[in-house]
Chains A and B, each alone.
Chain A
Amino acid sequence: MDKIVKDNRAPVSQKPLVMAKVDKDAIGATVGIEINGNPYKVMLGTTILEACRENNIHVPTLCYHEDLCLAGVCRVCVVEVEGMNTLQAACTFPIINKVKVRTTSEKVRKARRHVLDLMLSEHYGECYSCHRNGNCELQKLAKEYGVDSYKFGHIQERRYKIDRSSYAVVRDMDKCILCKRCVRTCIDLQEVGVLEAINRGDKTKITTFMDKPLAEVVCISCGQCINRCPTGALKANDPSDEIWNVIDDPSKHVVIQTAPSPRAAIGEEFGLPAGISMTKQMNRALKMIGFDKVFDTNFSADLTIMEEGTELLLRLKKKLVEGDNNVRLPQFTSCSPGWIKYIEHFYPEYLDYLSTCKSPQQMFGAVIKTFYANENKIDPANIVTVALMPCSAKKFECNRPEMNASGFKDVDYGLTTRELAQMIREAGLFLPDLPPDTFDEPFGEASGAGLIFGATGGVMEAALRTAYELVTGRVVPFENLDILPCRGFDGVKQASVKLENVKPEWSFLEGVDLNFMIAHGTANAKKVMEALVRGELSNIHFIEVMACPGGCLGGGGQPIPTSPEIRKKRAEAIYQEDAGLPVRKSHENPHITYIYEKFLTEGPCGHLSHKLLHTHYVKRGKYIG
């Protein structure tokens, strides 16, 4: 039984199809099929939906999502397959012989319309009072099928209470259509497994273990479920009303830091195709909205590299030179709050492997309410720090009780890309049309190293650019500083860099292969952790983990929809911007040099750094009281 639970967390019915063994040579690897009377050739085992999409034939879907295993439950994508009595779900039907398919026959249209009418009859609320108005898949389908009345009635009363317990995710199950995308996201894509359907029949609902509030279960706040919800049932905990309030309050000095990923995606909220950076237009929008200062989180990403890189080198020294066996290696990155919560819940015995560095968001908050406040003679009590993040877990992170090193709440609000887009709309602005603007000083210009934090592998690449140079005095041996083994979307990547001709103070690293791994998505993190538990990672030095598939650019606060293609485009935008920046290494960022000269005078990992920029973790475990 143990094995079943471990290897097979998602029910088989929700796994991708396991194909019957067929003799491909005998029938040829492609099959000739007919869709709506036209002949096509497709690969054996293709689903009808894939076959249709390859050939630009529209089939509506709702429970289907490219990132997720199949469910076949909404029944919106049904099509007619000749010779079968019942309609078939196009998303799950594998083509293993010649089939004749009809995608818009009378039966099909009628069935789809019925299915929609049924869903709408149970879908509480009105579109105009929903945050997904204009970007809701159910609404879109209703339009596509010309729904102009509630044929089977419309539910008038709430059935469920909205769960607002979590700092990150708000669940309104009255808007749920039971497509189970969130369930599949949580258990199959992320392998966390917080959400599941309970009860039967019309009492079926999606909920948590023992029907507890989300804050009391092992939710890691990654918000991946939000990104895949087709309706308004899931959303992030939106602080924008409070942010408007402090903006409107003249006594408050409101500072916003903007992470690298939102700028690469926010254009999508305004109808632009994925992959167009909006950094400069966004700066303008933020200033027009009324933020007093607009800073670049890339600055504190650079700061993170200095601290985390130094921490790694110190760990290596302690272990290799001093033979200290209490030092834990590999060192894991700690910038992703979803990942932190994941390891706190699922591998609480391994917290010592985490870097003690705070994430860039929290480092920035602490620096603003100390160094910045002091230099600019502003009472930190009157400073409000907002963090524009691609992430919902950042909302949880800034509310962690230990995050008040400045003596105040270091970061007051975590704001997602989607929520900022909404504020921009509310301010009457159309982002793509705005003139460009720069960040504000002193935390304006940052390095490309900080920027690429947004993509999986970015932290590793940034760290290597600095650490290699620190140790050898030479730039990393990769063309244009592009450390390609760190890039791309493989679930777990592994590579190494040889350290040769090192500087005398690092002589113990001479000839060492620096081995590193990169994982994105907690399902992949789990693979890495299991390998660590089995003792297989003793030769690895540094591991980057991001909770979200694709890294931050695929975060739970990013524009909806998401797909592998969209994430790839966002990554391209980030790498392109990095390539064009004058400074591409964290340690060469002049503001970094400045802050270590003026403020953190003991250097990285010094006393003040430890007080302001480092943190500790909580052994949460799986059972929460």
Chain B
Amino acid sequence: MIKNKSILFNRENLGDCLAIALNKNPQDILMEIRESNLKGRGGAGFPTGTKWMLAAASLANKKYVVCNADEGEPGTFKDRVLLSDFPDLVFEGMVISGYAIGAQKGFMYLRGEYSYLLKQLNDQLEKMLKEKRLGKNILGKGYDFEIEIRLGAGAYVCGEETALIESLEGHRGEARNRPPYPVNTGFMGNPTIVNNVETFVTAAIIMSRGGEWFTKLGTGKSKGHKLVSVSGDCEEPGVYEVPFGISINELLKMVKAKNAKAVQVGGASGYCACEGEFERQISFEDLSTGGSIMIFNQSRDMLHVLRNFMEFFVEESCGQCTPCRIGNKKLLEGVEKIEQGDCSLSYLRELIELGKTMKIASKCGLGQSSPTPFISIMTNFEQEIFSQR
């Protein structure tokens, strides 16, 4: 359940998104999504309209839609809420995007740990089939689209879209080289769009409420509202709908957090803000997040927090590229050295430089973002960490 009052994820006066969309022609849908300025909710924030247009422009007989429901980022649980409360809109969003780009088939890649949702989701698909909102000749408009749910097996990297596609194809979950991008060469070599659960729901809602309405919410470059999953040291953790542009301070107040010392924005691979930065905003222009906000109060040992994150990455790197496979291990070893009090400052500087290399030289987003907590925690909390040892 979403904890605060929803503006966006609100069924009041919401029209029949699917019917409205299918009454338009595909180009108009693409234009509307583009004009809404909707950006991907999975974390990277790529403009959804552009992604769909690129896929629509790719020449191919077969195209695919993939809903990324892998929700693997530590501290994120907002997709689970959408899958439980708005499964109809998730699937409708997929049908709408399929119609817009000219795809006949969609996959939902569902996080393995969410298998308990499988029955409910399949029931929803069944229901949509019966109501002719899925399958052959949807709503009598002559458009066919089917959806298949596939379960992930617990690898974090399989949330990365190209690794996800490899996994869908039955291969080892490893990120692909890009370019070419999935919009050209995706599932089985065909144009494929991969979008987050929230992106699909939001796109469906935009069909009913209109792109213009949507652009009135949020900030200059970050339109609309965002679901965030807040966890950690606060009285009311949970999933909230927030407008882009909300400051960390406002957010802390909302969830009744006291004595916060650090806020990790964007999950394990996100940025760790210290108290001096709590006026910064949640938005694509400032601190962006796929949905995870973790709060740490004064009692927390930031080195321990960092150790947890780094252990996660050492384990979850797919292991194919050098900077990520070995780099994360070296960063974790660095944390251990600090714990044991035998890490020189010059070695720490070297590790931070290594982290910067990992950010630009790794093959996929995992290795490109995993040094972020290391660098931000070491920079923001260096004194505290070293004074305690």
Contacts and interface: CB of A to CB of B under 8 A. Distances in A.
Contacts of B261: none
Nearest to A12: B189
Interface string A102-124: 00000100110011001101100
Contact of A74 (B162, B179, B322): B322
A122 B326 contact: yes
B211 interface: no
A471 B170 CA distance: 54
Interface string B211-227: 00000000000000000
B185 A78 contact: no
A429 interface: no
Given A13-B174, A18-B189, A20-B180, A202 B360 contact: no
Interface string B162-188: 100010011110111101100011001
A92 interface: yes
Interface in A1-51: 1, 4, 8, 11-13, 17-21
A196 B174 CA distance: 13
A73 B318 CA distance: 11
A152 B315 CA distance: 19
B59 interface: yes
Contacts of B360: 78, 85-87, 107, 111
B165 to A, nearest CB: 8
Interface in B305-331: 313-323, 325-330
A87 B361 contact: yes
Given A86-B368, A111-B357, A12 B363 contact: no
A621 interface: no
A360 to B, nearest CB: 41
A202 B174 contact: no
Contact of B357 (A1, A4, A114, A178): A114
A190 B271 CA distance: 45
B353 A94 contact: no
Contact of B327 (A8, A118, A199): A118
B76 to A, nearest CB: 20
Contact of B180 (A17, A72, A111, A202): A17
A196 to B, nearest CB: 7
Nearest to B163: A13
Contacts of A111: 323, 357, 360-361
A103 to B, nearest CB: 14
Contact of A11 (B157, B174, B359, B363): B174
B363 A72 contact: yes
Q: Which of A1, A92, A201 has the most CB of B within 10 A?
A: A201
Interface in B327-369: 327-330, 333, 350, 353-354, 357, 359-363, 368
B8 interface: no
A13 B170 CA distance: 12
A114 B354 contact: yes
A86 B309 CA distance: 23
Contacts of A70: 177
Given A119-B322, A201-B317, A12 B169 contact: yes
A115 B319 contact: no
A90 to B, nearest CB: 11
A534 interface: no
A89 interface: yes
Interface string A69-104: 011111110100000011101001110100000000
B155 interface: yes
Given A180-B320, A200-B317, A20 B350 contact: no
A202 B172 contact: no
B247 interface: no
A72 B177 contact: yes
B361 A114 contact: yes
A200 B318 contact: yes
Q: Which of B157, B170, B317, B325 has the most CB of A within 10 A?
A: B325
A204 interface: yes
A197 interface: yes
Given A72-B177, A202-B329, A11 B171 contact: yes
Nearest to B334: A152
Given A20-B185, A201-B315, A89 B177 contact: yes
Given A13-B174, A200-B316, A73 B363 contact: yes
A151 interface: yes
B208 interface: no
B180 A19 contact: yes
Contacts of B171: 11-13
Nearest to A94: B179
A142 to B, nearest CB: 14
Contacts of A85: 360
B319 A18 contact: no
Contact of A75 (B172, B174, B353, B363): B363
Contacts of A18: 180, 184-185, 189
B194 to A, nearest CB: 15
A151 B368 CA distance: 21
B376 interface: no
Given A199-B319, A204-B319, A13 B326 contact: no
Given A152-B330, A200-B315, A201-B319, A11 B368 contact: no
Nearest to A20: B184
A121 B330 contact: yes
A598 interface: no
B326 A119 contact: yes
B328 to A, nearest CB: 7
A202 B353 contact: no
A377 interface: no
Q: Which of B171, B175, B319, B327 has the most CB of A within 10 A?
A: B319
Contacts of B166: 11-13
B50 interface: no
B58 interface: yes
Contacts of B177: 13, 17, 70, 72, 89, 92
Contacts of B189: 12, 18
B25 to A, nearest CB: 23
Nearest to B175: A13
B185 A75 contact: no
A75 B325 contact: no
B179 A197 contact: no
Nearest to A177: B322
A1 B362 contact: no
A204 B325 contact: yes
B352 to A, nearest CB: 12
Contacts of A118: 322-323, 326-327, 330, 354
Nearest to B157: A200
A199 B176 CA distance: 18
B169 A75 contact: no
Contacts of B325: 178, 201-202, 204
A161 interface: no
Contact of A201 (B184, B316, B322, B363): B316
A143 interface: no
Given A20-B185, A86-B361, A111-B357, A200 B155 contact: yes
Nearest to A201: B317
B27 to A, nearest CB: 20
A167 to B, nearest CB: 29
A320 to B, nearest CB: 46
A441 to B, nearest CB: 56
B50 to A, nearest CB: 15
Contacts of A73: 320-322, 363
Interface in B36-87: 58-59
Contact of A178 (B316, B320, B353): B320
Contacts of A21: 58-59
Closest 3 CB pairs of A and B: A204-B319, A20-B184, A13-B176
Given A18-B189, A20-B185, A197-B319, 5 more contacts: A13-B166, A13-B171, A76-B322, A85-B360, A200-B319
14 contacts: A1-B170, A4-B170, A12-B166, A12-B171, A12-B189, A21-B58, A74-B322, A78-B360, A110-B353, A118-B354, A152-B326, A153-B333, A201-B318, A201-B329
